Amino acid sequence: MAVAEPYAASGLAPSRGGKARAALRQYFQGTSVSSWIAFGALGLMFLIAIFAKLIAPHDPLVPVGTPLTGPSVSNWFGTDTVGRDVFSRVVVGMSTSWWGALAVVAWGVIFGGLIGLIAGAWGGIVDSVLMRVTDVFLALPGPILAVAVVAAMGPSYFHTLVGISIVWWPLYTRIVRAEIRKLRASPHMEAARLAGAGWWRQLSRHLLPGAVPVTIITASLDISALVLMLSSLSFLGLGAPQPAPELGAMAAQGMTNIFTSWWIPIFPAAAVSAIAIVSNFAGEALRDRIRDR
């Protein structure tokens, strides 16, 4: 109280907003320049994903000019084989890939993390049964299952996401379960049990928060892998039917004109690479920050 009293007496007690800013400043203190660049690029990707339709100067589905026109002031990335603006299609395609990857990761974290939490916290027969089921899904190859789902349900970007999501959650189950089991054997958990903490308090105050950092690290590094997988499947024709603006499909369609109209496949492929690189570097920077704490 001796420290807080002068502030209270002078009416200069820090506000909640000031405390939050101070906490953020302290948390990111010592962050390298490369990490800040990665976080800034990640923020830019989020802005593009959110405001893609506002950023795109033209409707990505409607022809706006002469087909196979090279990059110009009016069409920054040129036009495709039917005269659609490639820049507008790339921007909207980046948004589609970004939100698709985030959706699969969110499903993995929520569903897979919940299964891992239950298995690690309960143990015994519950743990054994859940882990055997998880092993079955781990054995399924994601791309092949996505092909099977699309073949059964029809070509659709949503169906591709469903196929990948079916096999993506077991990774998070394994990670969360291992972290929970490690935390259960730690000295501070033994102290919590001796202090009379109930099962729910142990789970909500000690086990679950302890598993959050490693889950965030895994999820952040998964984005780039998912973007590449979704684009690869779209490249093979497993995404939404034409003329939907998907980066992999756009690159595949432009391969026949790569020597005469290079901008049609190159710019979508460059966008996929940019998303993957930014996501990977931002994930590594976030991992370093969390581990340093």
If one compares 85 and 39, the residue with the highest pLDDT of the two is 85
User: Can you give the length of the chain in residues?
Assistant: 293
Q: What is the mean pLDDT of the chain?
A: 80
Could you give the CA distance from residue 4 to residue 30 in angstroms, rounded to a whole number? 27
Q: How confident is the model at residue 157 (pLDDT cuts 50, 70, 90)?
A: confident
Using the predicted structure, report yes or no on whether residue 90 has a pLDDT greater than 90.
Answer: yes
pLDDT at 234: 85
Using alpha carbons, list the distances in angstroms from residue 198 to 31, 120, 192, 195, 202: 38, 16, 9, 9, 6
DSSP 90-152: HHHHHHHHHHHHHHHHHHIIIIIHHHHHHHHHH-HHHHHHHHHHHHHHHTS-HHHHHHHHHHH
Grade residue 204 by pLDDT with cuts at 50, 70 and 90: low
Give the model confidence (pLDDT) of 6-19 as tens digits: 444 444 445 555 66
Quote the tokens at residue 124.
């015994």
Tens digits of per-residue pLDDT, 224-237? 888 888 888 888 87
Rounded Cα distance, 9 and 2, in Å: 11
pTM (2 decimals)?
Answer: 0.79
Give the separation between CA 146 and CA 7, rounded to whole angstroms.
61
pLDDT value at residue 198: 62
Nearest to 53 by CA among 78, 85, 29: 85
The residue type found at 190 is E
245 pLDDT exceeds 80? Answer: yes
Nearest of 215, 17, 24 to residue 106 by alpha carbon: 215
Of 3-7, 81-85, 133-137, 159-163, least confident by mean pLDDT is 3-7
Contacts 24+ apart (CB under 8 A), 27-30: 27/289, 27/293, 28/289, 30/292
pLDDT of residue 144: 80
Average pLDDT over residues 268-292: 82
Distance in angstroms (rounded) separating the CA atoms of residues 270 and 247: 9
pLDDT at residue number 86: 92
DSSP-based three-state secondary structure for 197: coil
CA distance 260 to 240: 26
